[in-house]
């Protein structure tokens, strides 16, 4: 199967997010003006920012499909990881803005009583965005795509913002305007936490970090291949949603070059059937004799 097929599937999720944000932004802004709800208006303007994040993810997925060239021998798959990194920055800015606005509201004691129907608009928006989150999260796990998973987490953050807006609107109806600020602070903190997790995972991949447990699993798989008598070195790094592996194996020094090459082929074949391994570089060395104690 073409390694870019999964990325093309990921584009569908990005388009679903963009379409949902466009519809919900218009819905919230119109409703916010009509019902005189500042919380709903703020939520709508927040969605405008999220459109930028989803477009960044879409651009990253498009770039990652470009084939290898003279400057990028391994292709452009890491563009999707960069897109996830950009999305994390946008989410962090939104989270910080939500917290600042909420704290200012609490300090100044701002009090508005919007129409209770605006709370229903916020809840409908939260349910809709929750559905988009579930769709993108499932698709992101299916194709193992960091950028789309970042978009899904952004969808979840927006659903929480809408819930926070609904809480604030209902609270204002019962003379508890401070509920809006408290809910907004909690939502802002959750958004910042999610942004940090995406940032951490993206930078870990971009700096060639690799999960030690998965590396140990790869080592065990190679060690069980017939003809491999030892593993001197093993490295792996993530390239988009695929893995690149470099391994130095030891074989019987009495084997011919052809037989050693066949073992190398078996290692490559087995690795390509494991966890989206796209490229394997195998270096073969003769197994050194154990030193004899005198």
In a domain, 196, yes or no: yes
CA 54/CA 131 separation, integer angstroms: 16
pLDDT of 2 above 70: no
Which candidate, 151, 130, 116, places its Cα nearest to that of 37?
116
One domain for residues 202 and 216: no
Give the strand order in the sheet containing 230-239.
230-239, 242-251, 277-286
Instruction: Pick the most confident of 36-45, 58-67, 155-164, 249-258.
Output: 249-258
Q: The CATH number of the domain where 143 resides is what?
A: 1.20.1510.10
Tell me how many domains the chain contains.
2
Question: Residue 65 in contact with residue 36, Cβ under 8 Å?
Answer: no
One domain for residues 168 and 74: yes
Q: What is the mean pLDDT of residues 267-288?
A: 86
pLDDT of 276 above 80: no
Q: 294 falls in which pLDDT band (50, 70, 90)?
A: very low
One domain for residues 80 and 218: no
How far is the CA of 252 from the CAs of 226, 260, 268, 288, in angstroms?
11, 8, 18, 9
In a domain, 194, yes or no: yes
**pLDDT tens figures, 12-55:** 888 999 999 999 889 888 888 887 776 677 778 778 778 888 88
One domain for residues 73 and 189: yes
pLDDT of 293 above 70: no
Question: Between 290 and 82, where is the model more confident?
Answer: 82
Question: Residue 20 in contact with residue 95, Cβ under 8 Å?
Answer: no
Q: Choose the final residue of a domain: 161, 182, 206.
A: 206
CA 124/CA 106 separation, integer angstroms: 26
Q: What's the pLDDT at 203?
A: 92
Q: The CATH number of the domain where 228 resides is what?
A: 3.30.70.1350
One domain for residues 244 and 195: no
Which domain covers residue 112, as residue numbers? 5-206
pLDDT of 77 above 80: yes
Q: What is the mean pLDDT of the chain?
A: 84
Q: Choose the final residue of a domain: 160, 177, 206.
A: 206
Spatial CB neighbours of 22, under 8 Å, sequence gap ≥ 6? 51
Q: What's the pLDDT at 132?
A: 93
One domain for residues 262 and 193: no
Q: Choose the final residue of a domain: 179, 206, 233.
A: 206
Question: Residue 283 in contact with residue 248, Cβ under 8 Å?
Answer: yes
Question: Between 274 and 136, where is the model more confident?
Answer: 136
In a domain, 292, yes or no: no
One domain for residues 61 and 199: yes
3-class secondary structure, 65: coil
Question: Between 242 and 290, where is the model more confident?
Answer: 242
One domain for residues 17 and 146: yes
In a domain, 294, yes or no: no
One domain for residues 55 and 87: yes
One domain for residues 188 and 230: no
One domain for residues 218 and 110: no
Which candidate, 14, 29, 11, 38, places its Cα nearest to that of 125?
29
One domain for residues 156 and 225: no
Q: 110 falls in which pLDDT band (50, 70, 90)?
A: low
**pLDDT tens figures, 42-52:** 778 778 778 88
In a domain, 291, yes or no: no
Q: 235 falls in which pLDDT band (50, 70, 90)?
A: very high
Q: What's the pLDDT at 273?
A: 82
Q: What is the mean pLDDT of residues 136-158?
A: 86
């Amino acid at each position: 199967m073409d390694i870019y097929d999964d990325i093309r599937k990921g584009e569908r999720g990005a388009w679903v997010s963009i379409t949902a944000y466009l519809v919900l932004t218009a819905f919230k802004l119109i409703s916010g003006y009509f019902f005189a709800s500042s919380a709903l208006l703020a939520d709508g303007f927040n969605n405008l920012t999220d459109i930028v994040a989803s477009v960044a993810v879409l651009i990253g997925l498009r770039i990652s499909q470009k084939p290898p060239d003279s400057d990028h021998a391994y292709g452009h798959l890491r563009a999707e990881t960069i897109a996830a990194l950009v999305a994390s920055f946008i989410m962090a800015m939104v989270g910080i803005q939500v917290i600042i606005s909420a704290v200012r509201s609490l300090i100044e004691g701002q009090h508005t009583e919007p129409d209770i129907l605006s709370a229903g608009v916020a809840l409908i928006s939260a349910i809709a965005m929750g559905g988009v989150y579930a769709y993108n999260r499932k698709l992101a796990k299916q194709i193992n795509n960091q950028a789309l998973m970042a978009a899904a987490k952004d969808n979840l953050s927006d659903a929480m913002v809408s819930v926070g807006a609904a809480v604030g609107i209902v609270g204002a109806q019962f003379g508890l305007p401070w509920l809006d600020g408290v809910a907004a602070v909690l939502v802002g903190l959750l958004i910042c936490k999610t942004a940090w997790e995406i940032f951490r995972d993206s930078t870990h991949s971009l700096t060639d970090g690799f999960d030690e447990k998965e590396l140990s699993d790869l080592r065990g798989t190679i060690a069980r291949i017939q003809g491999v008598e030892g593993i001197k070195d093993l490295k792996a790094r993530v390239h988009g949603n695929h893995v690149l592996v470099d391994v130095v194996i030891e074989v019987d020094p009495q084997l011919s070059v052809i037989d050693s090459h066949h073992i190398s082929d078996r290692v490559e074949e087995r690795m390509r059937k494991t966890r989206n391994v796209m490229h394997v570089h195998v270096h073969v060395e003769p197994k050194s004799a154990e030193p004899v104690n005198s």
